[in-house]
A and B are shown apart, each in its own frame.
Chain A
Amino acid sequence: DGGITQSPKYLFRKEGQNVTLSCEQNLNHDAMYWYRQDPGQGLRLIYYSQIVNDFQKGDIAEGYSVSREKKESFPLTVTSAQKNPTAFYLCASSLQGGYEQFFGPGTRLTVL
């Protein structure tokens, strides 16, 4: 189904490499979010963007970077500075001022 998509589904990275996770939405939502999901820790907010060309750090932004050049796209780069990048990454979007967030299927990143 459409709505919000993430790619790739699985990603493997060698230590010291940067990787970029894709997130695209066709819901015409202004706000987009990146979460990291670890067992027993729930979802933790990495970055969010409420409008094009603007984004803010979440609770665990260190070692990550984002861009928001288009309304539909909010890619996340996991840099080599992220000490423990192996995790499941979820992207979400919502209407501006809306409380319901719509989630993508996720990307599982593994550092080899």
Chain B
Amino acid sequence: AQRVTQPEKLLSVFKGAPVELKCNYSYSGSPELFWYVQYSRQRLQLLLRHISRESIKGFTADLNKGETSFHLKKPFAQEEDSAMYYCALSGNNNAGNMLTFGGGTRLMVKP
């Protein structure tokens, strides 16, 4: 079975501080990992995926297979980063590209 855990329900930081949203997963194969974001009054949308190895809005995430983690990081948080963040996993299974989501972390960036 595949599982995604986001240990922090709420993360509060000051503007300009570094931020790290934790994500741990369990999956026996080679997973695809994603971060989705939901800003206030907006739809849930893809932020980044590990296979792209890209930085989006200053955020990066590295897949660490040894620690089964996919933490989301940003060196200097901005107020507009305040949102709900979900880590998601897609495994190679017969169900196609199904996503398993973590419980989400609410990031609050204070001025």
Residues on B lying within 8 angstroms of A by beta carbon are: 4, 6, 9, 32, 34, 43-46, 49, 86, 90, 95-104
Q: A45 near B98 (CB under 8 angstroms)?
A: yes
What A residues does B44 contact at CB under 8 A?
43, 90, 92, 103
- Name the segment of A61-69, A71-79, A94-102 touching the other chain: A94-102
Q: Report which of A94, A104, A106 forms a contact with B97, defined as CB distance below 8 A.
A: A94
Q: B9 near A40 (CB under 8 angstroms)?
A: yes
Q: A40 near B103 (CB under 8 angstroms)?
A: yes
Given contacts A48-B98, A99-B97, 11 further A-B contacts (CB under 8 A): A42-B103, A43-B101, A44-B101, A48-B95, A97-B97, A98-B97, A99-B32, A99-B99, A100-B49, A101-B46, A103-B44
Residues on A lying within 8 angstroms of B by beta carbon are: 31, 35, 40-45, 48, 50, 56, 58, 90, 92, 94, 96-106
Total of A-B residue pairs, C-beta within 8 Å:
53
Q: A104 near B43 (CB under 8 angstroms)?
A: yes
Contact A41 B99, CB 8 Å, known A99-B32, A99-B34, A99-B49: no
Output the nearest chain B residue to A103 by Cβ-Cβ distance. Answer: B44
Chain B nearest CB from A15 CB (Å) reads: 28
What A residues does B96 contact at CB under 8 A?
31, 48, 50, 96-97
Output the nearest chain A residue to B4 by Cβ-Cβ distance. Answer: A42
What A residues does B32 contact at CB under 8 A?
99
- Sorted nearest first, the 6 A-B pairs with minimum C-beta distance are A42-B101, A43-B101, A103-B44, A42-B103, A103-B43, A100-B46
Output the nearest chain A residue to B45 by Cβ-Cβ distance. Answer: A103
